[in-house]
């Protein structure tokens, strides 16, 4: 009788599984599909078992069911990376209630990307959907069951009892064992120091210090790979060969999709100096490796450099997959290294040289996050005087007082009209070492005055070197002031170039790499290790971590490593990453909030009568104006979301997963700064909301502001040179005579050389491109990312607000009274234009759009 009752309770429920076979870049593994078909014919298919979320019995698991008609559904032996749908039939006992998870076992030879499982109808409940989005490898690769959960969010204390152990076991798997080399099918998120930048086995010139693990060179943690250490230095992790980019360990679900990976590799290989250097340098005509005129610089945008057809091309064709070769090395005569015309020189070829544009880019360029209000004159230093002596600025009142529109210096400070771009303290400790290489540069301070029309006017530039008798004796400085005619004007142009070199290097190493890419990675790792996929904060943050670990790993492999592209194109050279570690010492997490940052830099004052509670000191500060609207939209969205799940601060404090997450971020991910007093305790809803808002801001809007303007502004290297190769010419020297007779040539011989320019422009073209798979802020890859209705409604309001901000930005860019929105170069400020309304998936060098995550 009991058996009959069981049979009566059972129902067949139909489901649909969507998956994707191995990606486009796996074209050498043709045998995989053949072997999968053989496994199917032998009865070794793909099985699923449903797990109840509501049954009172512990851990009830349904009967095994298999994907149906695999052989006929996968009809081609070389099926490309497209979605395939399978039917599946489950036997489900009504007493087991509603499924909340399922176990999947892949008995095939190769992996697949599982996208969704949709159960069409559970009696008494309706449809149930599982968003999976994960690579599933053959069952023999795992020592555990692969489990996927329905897209319902639960705090740990609210987790249905049948799902609790699966939730806990999944986190244990993701944390790993903390040792051993990780393989592509491992799903482990773990921490490591930056000990993978050097190759000491190749000689001392290829060695680099370990970043992180101490107070001297502190650094955020990166994802662990477990590669063996080098023979020469047991503290340094060995590196992979340059072209082995596909073998770098990153958890497979954190890797680029096939289209984005193909795009990235095509552009990245084009940039690799070790591959193209011998041939590119041989193409240089006239003066070896020099631009002789600005017209020579413009030639790179006209396709006047062509890759020769020789053994190098043949070798690349053998090493690089066809899809990449098609983009990289054309047979149709398309010229290699023909670059798009950067926005900064589209309207005028000389407007970039004006003082107004030089100053405007501090507010609306690619690095608008450094300028500060000057509050002390002369400017002072925070460097330790015992180590660096007196580093107070040598700029005097007589240098600037006649350019203040009748104000005294004290009046100008009181009226909040004096500003400074200060790279002095960040660079001075490294200038001697940097200048021991081919680079010859200074630590700079630039003073500016706010005019009545809202624009900034440069007043003076100070260029400083360490005292020749030792750093402890202070600095030796020279001050330059604006000039319009003669050799003084040429000297002024060079002084601005040295400032641009400082700003370019600091931007790339600190504003861009350290303050977005590097500081976010520990949050990515901790989120996967401590927050279950069921956790609402995981669901909130996950879209903002997409591809970040992979792009960071690729950057360490290709760009920021010893001899990498960044070392070859940015002035600190081999000291680049070490210098960014020095800067990390002063990183403060709460100050990454835009309002806090503006207040700290003196660019705003608190005023409750103004929107966002802040009054901007420079009203026409495009980055701040647009950024505050974006910040407020993010903060409102995060507040509504968090308040839905946490109805009190006590719930935050009692959430074990959340507390472990925050503890690990502080003690492990940013462990070198764990004793800083500014870390919050994560005891209140307000702390949770503020922290999540900062994380999303950094991963989306902040990164967009400092990344996607690189090619529009720095694609023309004279505007933002990355290297200076000789000091300011001294009166009476041949270099000074050259400056007088041919100032353009002297300028070009001082800044970035020809090959470095080609390499640098190629790099920032990669970095500035939006992917065709881009998901912008306010967009979601799946509209059913949660089952909770109120968060979905709040997200819709967030999207609508961002589209309203798009309209606001467009209107401001058309307002001729706001001179900093377009400037002399007539480039409208769109770097914080959300692009939420754009679903075209076109990508490219658009100069606008805020992606959800740091993915390039």
How many other C-beta atoms are found inside a 10 Å radius of the C-beta of residue 687?
17
* Sequence-ordered list of residues with C-beta below 8 angstroms from that of 198, at least 6 positions apart, any chain: 206, 207, 208, 209, 233, 236, 561, 562
With residue 550 as reference, give the H or E element that holds it.
helix 548-558
Contact 768, 716 (CB under 8 A): no
DSSP class of residue 511? I
Contact 237, 117 (CB under 8 A): no
- What is each CA distance from 391 to 164, 429, 467, 486, 806, in whole angstroms? 60, 11, 10, 32, 44
Contact 122, 92 (CB under 8 A): yes
**Residue of 368, 410, 386, 547 lying closest to 473 (CA atoms):** 386
Task: State the Cα angle at 332 between 327 and 333, rounded to 5°.
Answer: 100
Cα 792 to Cα 642: distance, rounded to the nearest angstrom: 13
The conformational region for residue 130 under phi > 0 = left, psi -120 to 50 = alpha, else beta, is beta
Q: Concatenate the DSSP letters of all residues of 357-384 into one string.
A: HHHHHHHHSS-TT--EE--SSS----S-
How many other C-beta atoms are found inside a 10 Å radius of the C-beta of residue 572?
26
**Residue matched to tokens 């009991």:** 2
Burial class (CB in 10 A: 0-12, 13-18, 19+), 107: middle
Question: What's phi and psi for 415, nearest 5 deg?
Answer: -85, 5
Contact 689, 642 (CB under 8 A): yes
Report the chain's terminal Cα–Cα distance, integer Å.
64
Cα 633 to Cα 613: distance, rounded to the nearest angstrom: 14
Contact 235, 210 (CB under 8 A): yes
**Residue of 113, 61, 56 lying closest to 84 (CA atoms):** 113
Task: State the Cα angle at 848 between 522 and 327, rounded to 5°.
Answer: 85
Contact 458, 448 (CB under 8 A): yes
* Sequence-ordered list of residues with C-beta below 8 angstroms from that of 141, at least 6 positions apart, any chain: 183, 185
Cα 59 to Cα 61: distance, rounded to the nearest angstrom: 6
Q: Are strands 112-122 and 10-20 parallel, antiparallel or unpaired?
A: antiparallel
DSSP class of residue 84? E
Cα 474 to Cα 701: distance, rounded to the nearest angstrom: 39
List the catalytic residues. 512, 517, 703, 707, 856
Q: How is residue 128 written in tokens?
A: 């149930």
**Residue matched to tokens 């000789």:** 726
Residue 422 DSSP SS3: strand
How many other C-beta atoms are found inside a 10 Å radius of the C-beta of residue 558?
25
Cα 166 to Cα 149: distance, rounded to the nearest angstrom: 9
Q: How is residue 64 written in tokens?
A: 């095994």
Residue 818 DSSP SS3: coil
- What is each CA distance from 143 to 51, 169, 187, 527, 856, in whole angstroms? 19, 12, 12, 23, 34
> Which residue(s) pair with 12 in the sheet?
91
With residue 47 as reference, give the H or E element that holds it.
strand 46-52
Torsion over CA: 602, 607, 613, 619 (sign): negative
Contact 187, 253 (CB under 8 A): yes
């Amino acid at each position: 009788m009991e058996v009959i009752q069981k049979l009566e309770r059972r129902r067949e429920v139909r489901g649909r599984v969507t998956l994707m076979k191995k990606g486009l870049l796996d074209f050498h593994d043709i045998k995989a599909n053949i072997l999968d078909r053989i496994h199917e014919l032998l009865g070794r298919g793909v099985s699923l078992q449903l797990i109840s979320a509501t049954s009172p019995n512990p851990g009830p698991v349904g009967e095994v069911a298999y994907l149906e008609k695999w052989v006929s559904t996968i009809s081609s032996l070389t099926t490309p990376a497209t979605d395939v749908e399978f039917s599946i039939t489950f036997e489900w006992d009504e007493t087991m209630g509603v499924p909340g998870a399922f176990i999947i076992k892949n008995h095939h030879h190769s992996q697949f990307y599982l996208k969704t499982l949709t159960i069409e109808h559970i009696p008494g409940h309706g449809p149930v959907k599982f968003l999976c989005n994960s690579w599933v490898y053959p069952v023999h690769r795992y020592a555990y069951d692969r489990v996927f959960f329905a897209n319902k969010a639960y705090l740990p204390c609210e987790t249905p009892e049948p799902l609790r152990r699966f939730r806990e076991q999944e986190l244990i798997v993701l944390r790993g064992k903390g040792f051993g080399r990780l393989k592509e099918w491992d799903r482990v998120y773990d921490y490591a120091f930056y000990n993978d930048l050097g190759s000491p086995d190749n000689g001392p010139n290829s060695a680099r210090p370990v970043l992180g693990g101490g107070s001297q060179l502190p650094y955020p943690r990166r994802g662990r790979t477990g590669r063996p250490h080098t023979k020469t230095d047991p503290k340094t992790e060995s590196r992979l060969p340059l072209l082995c980019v596909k073998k770098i360990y990153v958890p497979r679900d954190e890797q680029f999709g096939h289209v984005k990976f193909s795009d990235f590799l095509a552009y990245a290989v084009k940039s690799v100096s070790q591959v193209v250097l011998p041939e590119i340098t041989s193409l240089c005509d006239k003066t070896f490796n020099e631009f002789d005129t600005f017209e020579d610089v413009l030639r790179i945008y006209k396709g006047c450099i062509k890759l020769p057809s020789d053994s190098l091309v043949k070798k690349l064709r053998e090493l690089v997959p066809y899809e990449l070769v098609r983009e990289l090395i054309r047979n149709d005569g398309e010229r290699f290294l023909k670059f798009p015309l950067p926005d900064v020189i589209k309207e005028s070829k000389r407007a970039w040289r004006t003082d107004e544009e030089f100053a405007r880019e501090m507010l609306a360029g690619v690095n608008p996050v450094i300028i500060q209000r000057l509050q002390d004159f002369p400017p002072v230093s925070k460097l330790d005087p015992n180590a660096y002596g007196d580093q107070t600025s040598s700029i005097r009142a007589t240098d600037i007082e006649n350019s203040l529109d009748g104000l005294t210096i004290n009046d100008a400070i009181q009226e909040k009209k004096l500003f400074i771009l200060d790279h002095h303290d960040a660079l001075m400790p490294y200038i001697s070492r940097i200048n021991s290489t081919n680079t010859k540069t200074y630590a700079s301070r630039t003073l500016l005055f706010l005019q009545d029309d809202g624009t900034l006017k440069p007043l003076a530039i100070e260029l400083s070197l360490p005292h020749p008798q030792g750093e402890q004796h202070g600095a030796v400085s020279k001050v330059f002031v604006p000039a319009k005619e003669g050799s003084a004007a040429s000297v002024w142009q060079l002084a601005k170039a040295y400032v641009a070199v400082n700003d370019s290097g600091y931007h790339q190493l600190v504003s861009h790499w350290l303050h977005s890419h590097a500081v976010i990675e520990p949050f990515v790792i901790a989120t996967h290790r401590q927050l279950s996929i069921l956790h609402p904060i995981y669901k909130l943050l996950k879209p903002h971590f997409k591809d970040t670990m992979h792009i960071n790993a690729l950057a360490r492999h290709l760009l920021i490593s010893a001899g990498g592209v960044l070392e070859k194109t940015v002035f600190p050279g081999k000291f680049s990453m070490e210098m960014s570690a020095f800067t990390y010492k002063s990183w403060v997490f709460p100050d990454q909030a835009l309002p806090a940052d503006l207040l700290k830099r003196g660019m705003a004052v608190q005023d409750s009568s103004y929107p966002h509670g802040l009054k901007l000191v420079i009203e026409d500060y495009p980055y701040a104006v647009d950024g505050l609207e974006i910040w407020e939209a993010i903060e409102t969205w995060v507040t509504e979301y968090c308040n839905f799940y946490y109805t009190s601060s006590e719930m935050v404090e009692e959430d074990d997963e959340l507390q472990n997450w925050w503890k690990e971020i502080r003690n492990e991910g940013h462990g070198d700064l764990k004793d800083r007093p500014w870390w919050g305790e994560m005891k209140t809803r307000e702390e949770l909301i503020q922290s999540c808002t900062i994380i999303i801001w950094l991963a989306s809007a902040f990164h967009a502001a400092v990344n996607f303007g690189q090619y529009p502004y720095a694609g023309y290297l004279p505007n933002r040179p990355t290297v200076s190769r000789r000091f300011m010419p001294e009166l009476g020297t041949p270099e000074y005579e050259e400056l007088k007779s041919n100032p353009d040539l002297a300028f070009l011989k001082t800044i970035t050389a020809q090959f470095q320019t080609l390499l640098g422009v190629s790099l920032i073209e990669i970095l500035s491109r939006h992917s065709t798979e881009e998901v912008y802020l306010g967009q979601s890859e799946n509209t059913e990312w949660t089952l909770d209705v109120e968060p979905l409604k709040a997200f819709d309001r967030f999207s609508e607000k961002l589209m309203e901000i798009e309209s606001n930005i467009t209107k401001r860019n058309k307002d001729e009274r706001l001179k900093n929105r377009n400037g002399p170069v007539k480039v409208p400020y769109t770097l914080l234009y959300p692009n939420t309304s754009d679903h075209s998936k076109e990508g490219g060098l658009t100069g606008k759009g805020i992606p959800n995550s740091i993915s390039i």
